[in-house]
Amino acid sequence: MKTNDHAVTAGHSVDPARWQEAFEGLMSRIAGRLTRVESRCRARKLVLGLLSDLLRKNCWTIAEWAGDKTPDGTQHLLGRSKWDADQVRDDAPTWSSICTTTRQSWLSTRQAT
């Protein structure tokens, strides 16, 4: 079994409802680091886009995947919006553990809806 196969296997063993709960908890945790509601919504879409099965991941592809007509909102979030990047970065271990072990579970949930 290859190293990547372990992540896929773990992803298939995670309950989608538990993954969704963990993801929402994480988004709630960083909500205070983003000053505006719009930024929080945009960040959520951005993270889900990054976790998606898109072949290329950039502001355009993620915006289109999220249903936006242009990448302006995502670009604003990343370049001009006020948020505490250092604190969000400090949450990286939590993000990493959720993302690596449950990506496939999330994809299955997204495809089912």
**Tokens found for residue 80:** 């001009």
**Higher local confidence (pLDDT), 103 or 19:** 19
pTM: 0.66
CA–CA gap between residue 54 and residue 52 (Å, rounded): 6
Q: What Rg, from alpha-carbon coordinates, does the chain have?
A: 14
Answer whether 104's CB lies under 8 Å from 12's CB: yes
Model pLDDT for residues 3-62, shown as the tens digit of each residue = 444 444 445 566 778 888 878 888 888 888 888 888 889 989 998 898 888 999 999 999
The pLDDT score that the predictor gives to residue 31 is 83
